[in-house]
Amino acid sequence: MSEQNDIGINDLISKLKRLENQQVIYRRIAADELILYFYGEPGDQDVVSIWISPPWRYEHNDKIVLGSFDLIIQPEDYPSKTAYTTEFERLCSLSNALKGSLLNNVQIDKTSLDLTLELSDEQIIRSFCRSPLDQESWSIVDVRDNIVIEVGAGTISENSYETKPRLKLVE
């Protein structure tokens, strides 16, 4: 059984503020979840990542470019698997500009714990708590410090990465 600790909003903000002025090394979309990697790529020992569960949206130059629900497409709605894959990859590519950008500012709403990430080149990512029953809206995975911080509707919990690893994705 994993050991879970509740942490406060100030500790959470402090952990996120360490990522300010850091470059997004890698951007991944897994189904409808957006993942940003700092200090390395997936699998690296020093990587810190922010996993954003739906609902979220990506804005660039004061325009909404992509939202998590844009990615909920069904293979049966396309004439072939190739057409489905092509459309999913096209949608994902709308956020390619995130890779290489700098995280300029992090904001957390103290009531909802919604996350706003302001990045270079007028890019913004916003996550939204969709329900007061949400278990997890977003999380921070710090492999180097062996920590997973899960943030949901008014709750913040910290676990060991070794006892609660995130989904291991293969490229």
The residues spanned by each domain of the chain are 4-160
* pLDDT (mean) for 58-70: 97
d(CA 74, CA 16): 35
* Confidence grade of residue 72 (pLDDT, cut at 50, 70, 90): very high
Please check the confidence at residue 171 and state whether its pLDDT lies above 80: no
Residue of 54, 24, 58, 60 lying closest to 41 (CA atoms) = 24
Q: Six-digit token pair at 97?
A: 């500009």
Pairing, β 33-38 against β 48-52:
antiparallel
Pairing, β 33-38 against β 155-160:
unpaired
Residues 16-35: pLDDT tens digits? 999 999 999 999 999 999 99
Residues 78-104: pLDDT tens digits? 999 999 999 999 999 999 999 999 999
Instruction: Provide the whole-model pTM.
Output: 0.89
Residue 166: its pLDDT value, please? 52
